[in-house]
Structure 1
């Protein structure tokens, strides 16, 4: 009430109306209810959307919702996912989340105003949401982590020019978003992705001192955060592996990348050799034994920095072929097999086409990723062309000894037709090259494997199989619009857990640039980290941000991840996801190698 005025004979001023409360306690929780949102605890997560694209996430006591975004129209009372290539009893817990950018008082003032879901502006925005692609509508520097990402892989300036040049090189080194370092337990630098060891020697010394301090306290250091950078440390025998990331990746993802770098070293030295080097001289310099393999480490590290799907999912991508076509290729492989062959592979454009193997042995995906990195990412083998004979340790198969790998590209068979079409973003470096990889335990089997390669290549060329492989490689990945016409899903990844293989949509036309691809993979990394975190029991995860709407769905049979534009409704995203999953189940024998050729 307004204070009373003195009695002056004038009429007293009427009282002012009560001021609307801006306290969050005055907000009706039911007004904030997102009816399709389910929490994983007795606290219900509620998501409120505003016309300007922001989101507010709130929690209030209450029972869990009985609906799920992937349920059919007649949802079962116990909230179980309807059958979409998975068992009906696969329970789904759904959480919709986004950073809360506004205090409760600000939200209350918005609710009291005219900006609500019934306003014409809001309806117009919703009607146009399908035309907005992921990451297309950005506000200022909402996320400037990738502002200079295109310069991430550029080399540092040369070291000529004195102190000013050194300062420039150091600043450029610091500006990199992702660093990898390898050093020995004695503090000897071994390898660094960015910068020569002379430039960063002092930094490596600091890292070694910190790690040693924690080891002395019997409390091994796993990782720490400094500013906007995350440091992750992995100890592998006498070696320390360090990653410094400003890309917002989870520790588990970074740790798996460091494990792959360790596997790359073992593929060159074998575990006994590595241990023997440091057993007698802990201060040994490992740079000489690893000389010539720096490009393999660098290409592997750059692949991780770009956000490689195969590394994220721990699986391989296969070339999409008809079952009958793949069967014919496998049969040709098996009929012309050398007695000294252990494994045989045909690889095209970075994708697996065919594999033949002993009945009781199969190659681990991590070993195959090392082979793919050697063939299509590093310049060593592909740059030389022709054929190569390489002693190689496959650590997941046997980290104590060497196998021998014969590699040959089909240049002589494909001839002038090899690369007639423009290169698409789906083959950024491997392009359309087709290679045969033959692995043997016998170091004297080179000529037998060469003869096998010639016989198989001639047969595949004569029966048309090689042309089919070449055409499928040029066609690239399928677009989402071909699978689910009218769907608002812009991109997806689907992993078959039983086959440890995955497929994904074409990167064209929305994710053709390096930065756009990295943003896309960052969304997938965040989804994957959330559903696979140690204490998580989530099966379905729906995320809303100012840049994109995304979905993760994990069952014992498959893992599915997809991305759409901002403000795409959950129902629309779910409908598109269901169509894609049904297509993947139907096309399973074309998308994946099931069993392969066995002898």
Structure 2
């Protein structure tokens, strides 16, 4: 059982139900009228801004722009919720309601079913925070001390306590993304197919409000129909009382539910993920559907016929949904941080690329991007418009994860909706991958352990003009010619070939094994190389689970923490949040708190010195 130690005044003791068997959902009462009264226990649905059923615009779309220019009037996206200013206080259910809603693990900060205790000031006072981060904590930061630091001793995400039998789980994870055989008409393989389906650690299901299946990551209609019916019954039970169900736990599986208009999206996970993470993933899947159909088209179909089978208009895009879902299963820092990764380049080199983009720009261009290996190199955009992380996640997923566009070769002209820009209409995207045969560019085509090509460099132009293909093609040819002359292409390919730096390359002798650093103002992040400590998919999945836990600890409290420190038998981890940045880092368990604080401080100083290399600041603006 975890021992959460926070400087939050007097002790607040609440029952720890993480080791108990969750009770079943209550029986449906004969008289439903009492559910509307004040005596009804509140479910986990909560009436949180931006998450209600009637709100069709995803809260993920309200995140800040990917450049210095922010969307006016937007809220700040925080782990799947939209808030204004400070964090939205979470409701505190009574003890009787905890089991009714869902059982929460001790790793979830917003989860009330955990034990939090305060320690004497001598052990965790201001002096302790100063020793944790040295001279980084200023006198101003020491005000409102209850939000400054949290220290937790955790059994460890690498241990059996949270991951079960690690060896057995790793074995299951190796086949997690394998496809399941279809059921034969005679039912001869039903037992083996059902066993394979139940062995999956994570499922995504999308259904209409009428209960029609739309998408399932694993299994066909014959396999999932009964499960869809059960889930639809549970969702309808809560929706009938205007208290939509958002999440619950059954056994060792977590269920997160997102209702958006006529759609219900469900994530079922046996991995170590918070409900907030799962809901953010469902938001992204919803955005993927909007990017194909647009919101008005989808509303029109369902308003005229509520039992519409949405699989027909979505036919051919299942690979995009599956690629997105598989990325979440493997672990997605971009989705966790709601930010984009930028390719590290010298300031002068990036400026040269930006100037070249501006020089070659054509009147039809709305947005122009250069992307290498799924990392942003440069952006050209209008002065009063900016791109949103959710939109670019969808574009990058289409190009670098699903692989369908690149597999076609040559050039592509793709109509798509960018929900963060305008969820009511289509834009047109010109895509061209650099190739040695056509462009004379030596692009090494090889795959990395995380499935991305080291030499995949794409030119992306977005326009509102559906007749702008040839104009954008000419811009692409002019851009490649100019970048070849001034050496910009060589600089991009050199940076791609170098890959991410390891912690010891950045800070020789550091105790850190991995880190994530997010620039809050630019909504971009950088990270160290997974090698050599996290070279397998399962080890990376566990690492992202640690970061997900740290992120939840920082962002899910009514009063946001600045520092959270976690220890276990196999690692120590630190999360550090400021108005400028967020830092998440991991070190061996033998690392002292002082050594970890010193390493974190050095890393922050390095990031500040290297900011113009690590991040795309402003971009090329016209």
TM-score, with normalisation over the residues of structure 2? 0.78
Which position in structure 2 is the counterpart of 1:94? 149
Q: How does 1:146-225 map to 2 (within 5 A)?
A: 146-160=170-184, 162-225=186-249
| Residue 286 (str. 1) matches residue 344 (str. 2) | no
SS, match of residue 221 in structure 1: coil
SS, match of residue 430 in structure 2: strand
Which residue of the other structure, out of 587, 590, 593, is the alignment partner of 2:616? 593
CA-based RMSD of the aligned residues comes to: 2.8
Q: Which digits, 9 at most, give the CA deviation of each residue in 1:497-533, with x for residues without a partner?
A: 0000000001111111100100100000000011110
Deviation at 1:60, TM superposition (A): 6.4
Which position in structure 2 is the counterpart of 1:81? 137
Distance in 2 of aligned mates of 1:505 and 1:584:
12
Which position in structure 2 is the counterpart of 1:252? 276
Against the structure 1 CA distance between its residues 487 and 457, is the aligned structure 2 distance closer, same or farther, given a 3 Å change threshold?
A: same
Deviation at 1:579, TM superposition (A): 1.0
Which position in structure 1 is the counterpart of 2:121? 63
| Residue 470 (str. 1) matches residue 529 (str. 2) | no
SS, match of residue 502 in structure 1: strand
Distance in 1 of aligned mates of 2:304 and 2:617:
47
| Residue 39 (str. 1) matches residue 2 (str. 2) | no
| Residue 243 (str. 1) matches residue 294 (str. 2) | no
Against the structure 1 CA distance between its residues 167 and 75, is the aligned structure 2 distance closer, same or farther, given a 3 Å change threshold?
A: closer
SS, match of residue 412 in structure 2: strand
Deviation at 1:230, TM superposition (A): 0.8
Gaps of 5+ in 2: 14-114
Question: Of the two structures, which has the highest relative contact order with CA contacts closer than 8 Å and spacing of 6 or more?
Answer: 2
Against the structure 1 CA distance between its residues 90 and 582, is the aligned structure 2 distance closer, same or farther, given a 3 Å change threshold?
A: farther
Deviation at 1:547, TM superposition (A): 2.3
SS, match of residue 489 in structure 1: coil
Gaps of 5+ in 1: 1-32, 46-56, 102-133
| Residue 495 (str. 1) matches residue 518 (str. 2) | yes
Which position in structure 2 is the counterpart of 1:445? 468
Which position in structure 1 is the counterpart of 2:442? 417
Q: Which digits, 9 at most, give the CA deviation of each residue in 1:397-433, with x for residues without a partner?
A: 000011000000111455572117x6544x6323321
Distance in 1 of aligned mates of 2:162 and 2:561:
31
Distance in 2 of aligned mates of 1:480 and 1:215:
49
Distance in 2 of aligned mates of 1:520 and 1:74:
23
Which position in structure 2 is the counterpart of 1:111? none
Contact 1:43/1:63, CA 8 A, preserved across alignment: no
Contact 1:418/1:433, CA 8 A, preserved across alignment: yes
Distance in 1 of aligned mates of 2:204 and 2:342:
29
Deviation at 1:252, TM superposition (A): 1.3
Contact 2:320/2:398, CA 8 A, preserved across alignment: yes
Distance in 1 of aligned mates of 2:497 and 2:159:
28
Deviation at 1:98, TM superposition (A): 2.6
Against the structure 1 CA distance between its residues 286 and 61, is the aligned structure 2 distance closer, same or farther, given a 3 Å change threshold?
A: closer
Which position in structure 2 is the counterpart of 1:571? 594
Q: How does 1:272-311 map to 2 (within 5 A)?
A: 272-311=296-335
Against the structure 1 CA distance between its residues 440 and 59, is the aligned structure 2 distance closer, same or farther, given a 3 Å change threshold?
A: closer
Distance in 1 of aligned mates of 2:125 and 2:557:
26
Which position in structure 2 is the counterpart of 1:4? none
| Residue 394 (str. 1) matches residue 450 (str. 2) | no
SS, match of residue 396 in structure 1: coil
Deviation at 1:593, TM superposition (A): 0.5
Against the structure 1 CA distance between its residues 264 and 141, is the aligned structure 2 distance closer, same or farther, given a 3 Å change threshold?
A: closer
SS, match of residue 364 in structure 2: coil
Deviates more, 1:528-537 or 1:171-180: 528-537
Which position in structure 2 is the counterpart of 1:373? 397
Deviation at 1:40, TM superposition (A): 2.7
Deviation at 1:95, TM superposition (A): 2.3
Q: Which digits, 9 at most, give the CA deviation of each residue in 1:141-176, with x for residues without a partner?
A: 565654411111011134348434111111111111
Contact 2:9/2:118, CA 8 A, preserved across alignment: no
Q: Which digits, 9 at most, give the CA deviation of each residue in 1:292-319, with x for residues without a partner?
A: 0000000001111111000000000000
Q: How does 1:329-368 map to 2 (within 5 A)?
A: 329-368=353-392
Deviation at 1:218, TM superposition (A): 2.6
Deviation at 1:247, TM superposition (A): 1.1
Against the structure 1 CA distance between its residues 99 and 72, is the aligned structure 2 distance closer, same or farther, given a 3 Å change threshold?
A: closer
SS, match of residue 556 in structure 1: coil
Contact 1:44/1:62, CA 8 A, preserved across alignment: no
Against the structure 1 CA distance between its residues 200 and 255, is the aligned structure 2 distance closer, same or farther, given a 3 Å change threshold?
A: same
Distance in 1 of aligned mates of 2:12 and 2:208:
49
| Residue 548 (str. 1) matches residue 571 (str. 2) | yes
Which position in structure 2 is the counterpart of 1:18? none
SS, match of residue 387 in structure 2: coil
Against the structure 1 CA distance between its residues 332 and 201, is the aligned structure 2 distance closer, same or farther, given a 3 Å change threshold?
A: same
**Larger Rg belongs to:** 1
Contact 1:68/1:81, CA 8 A, preserved across alignment: no
Deviates more, 1:278-287 or 1:144-153: 144-153
Distance in 1 of aligned mates of 2:478 and 2:512:
45
Deviation at 1:81, TM superposition (A): 1.0
Deviates more, 1:186-195 or 1:406-415: 406-415
Deviation at 1:356, TM superposition (A): 0.4
Distance in 2 of aligned mates of 1:553 and 1:61:
21
Against the structure 1 CA distance between its residues 61 and 486, is the aligned structure 2 distance closer, same or farther, given a 3 Å change threshold?
A: closer
Distance in 1 of aligned mates of 2:133 and 2:513:
28
SS, match of residue 525 in structure 1: helix
SS, match of residue 187 in structure 2: helix
SS, match of residue 130 in structure 2: coil
Against the structure 1 CA distance between its residues 571 and 176, is the aligned structure 2 distance closer, same or farther, given a 3 Å change threshold?
A: same
Deviation at 1:82, TM superposition (A): 4.1
SS, match of residue 506 in structure 1: coil
Deviation at 1:178, TM superposition (A): 0.8
SS, match of residue 380 in structure 2: strand
Q: Which digits, 9 at most, give the CA deviation of each residue in 1:443-490, with x for residues without a partner?
A: 011100000001101111122111110110111111100122111110
